[in-house]
Amino acid sequence: MALLHPRNPFITSIYTADPSAHTWDGETVYVYASHDIDPARGCDLMDRYHIFSSKDMVNWVDEGEILSSDDVKWGRTEGGFMWAPDCIYKDGTYYFYYPHPSETRWNDTWKIGVATSKYPNKDFTDQGYIEGLGGFALIDPCVFLDDDGQAYIYVGGGGKYLGAKLCPDMMTLETEAVQMEGLHDFHEATWVFKRNGVYYLSYSDNQQPENNMRIATSDSPLGPWTHRGAYMTPVGCETTHGSVMEFKGQWYQFYHNQAVSGHGTMRSICVDKIFFDDDGNILPMKQTTNGLFSYEIPNNAIAYGVDKFELYGGAYLEDGKVKGLDAEGSGFKLAGIEGKGDLRATIWVKYATQERLAKIRLNVNGRDESYINALATDDITRLTVKLKPGTNNEVTFAGGKGDIYITEVLVSYL
Ligand code: FUB
């Protein structure tokens, strides 16, 4: 997988927030996001949900608008307020859940609407809202389908965080929605997933001026939950909201920030890899600004980030590969690499080349580490190097011999 081009935010065409990411077939990722309208008036004007899809987490397709407040007959006449949605697939139907107020007095009248389709990415029709679920500040629906086919719905806001079983029609509550136990400093943005038989619930907290993302676990989908702490620091935006999913064996955190607009209610969706330790704890997540760094953890190593990526000379990006590295004075630089005390750092380079004995010079903090060879039997070559403590380490690749295309670079620690 080629990851070498700016990736976060990965949708920049329109402002998007609150990404709910799913794969229904293991081959395509669908992100059901809310849509910040430019210019924004707080979150009041949010409307017109779009879906985004990808087969490789790098190239994204805008599948278009699937639902707007105009389509919601029971909604407030003024429209807007189409906030964080979710979607679930069951028995041939895609159910799209979204919070929307039914009256002008919007914050007292939230309801959870349901639209359905036979397709994951189009033709959604509103079916009304879930009776018995809603009211003051009750937003951010999340629906979780357990392995036994039982579906659960979660909503939260305004000091409440409720969970309930859904009936097979996916629109009726089978059990009353009750407050879940064990969450610490809950604010909003509930997301539930299961990994190795453990239920995880992520949510944003009330830290000011910006929220952390916290995680809790349970052996039951409705808790009680055990709070495991904050794993994602604020995103540089007044809201924190995200989803966690596994795709092709790798776990990902989707979230939003305001990197494009600089404005807290004109947000843009992002994705980064996340990892778990042997006890099932999520490791602190690192938000990246480019897709260069891949959080793969070889064996027992711990992977950390690369913050900056810069091409120079005749080096250029094409099809997710850095090319032109054999031109005089061409190369690329990685900066912001963290030195971890006594831990040794290994630079992993994934490459493609048609040429025998292709190679490229590696330079670490101004020290020539000589050529690293692209002649391993697989397509990865690596070198363990010394880094300085702190995050001001720089690595450059330059002086390529032969047609060597770099597709991925990562740093791990031994
Ligand atoms: O996007 C509108 C609201 O902001 C969401 O429903 C909250 O979770 C926060 O992200």
pLDDT digits (tens, 9 = 90+) for 105-162: 999 999 999 999 999 999 999 999 999 999 999 999 999 999 999 999 999 998 899 9
Distance 403 CA to ligand 1 centre (A): 47
Give me the DSSP letters along 12-33.
-SSEEEEEEEEESSSS-EEEEE
- Contact by Cβ (8 Å): 313, 333: no
What's the CA dihedral at 75, 76, 81, 84 to 10 degrees? -20
Pocket test for ligand 1, best of 139, 155, 205 (most atoms within 8 A of CB): 139
**Closest atom of ligand 1 relative to the 240 alpha carbon:** 10
For residue 4, name the pLDDT band (cuts at 50, 70, 90): very low
pLDDT band at 305 (very low <50, low <70, confident <90, very high): low
Distance CA 226, CA 181 (A): 8
> Which is the catalytic residue, given 86, 126, 140, 188?
188
pLDDT of residue 302: 47
Looking at ligand 1, which atom is closest to the CA of residue 267? 1
- Is 350 touching ligand 1 by the criterion CB < 6 Å? no
Q: 237-266: per-residue pLDDT in tens?
A: 999 999 999 999 989 999 999 988 999 999
Helix (H, G, I), strand (E, B) or coil at 107: helix
Provide the pLDDT confidence category of residue 281 given band limits of 50, 70 and 90. very high
| Mutation choice for ligand 1 from 203, 241, 268, 270, CB with most ligand atoms inside 8 A | 241
Distance 86 CA to ligand 1 centre (A): 12
φ/ψ of 249, rounded to 5, equals 85, -5
- CB of 36 within 6 A of ligand 1: the answer is no
List the single range of 10-14, 58-62, 274-278, 377-381 with lowest mean pLDDT: 377-381
Q: What is the pLDDT of residues 83-113, one digit of tens each?
A: 999 999 999 999 999 999 999 999 999 999 9
| CB 51 less than 6 A from any atom of ligand 1 | no
- pTM score of the predicted model: 0.74
- Our answer on whether the CB atom of 84 is closer than 6 Å to any ligand 1 atom is yes
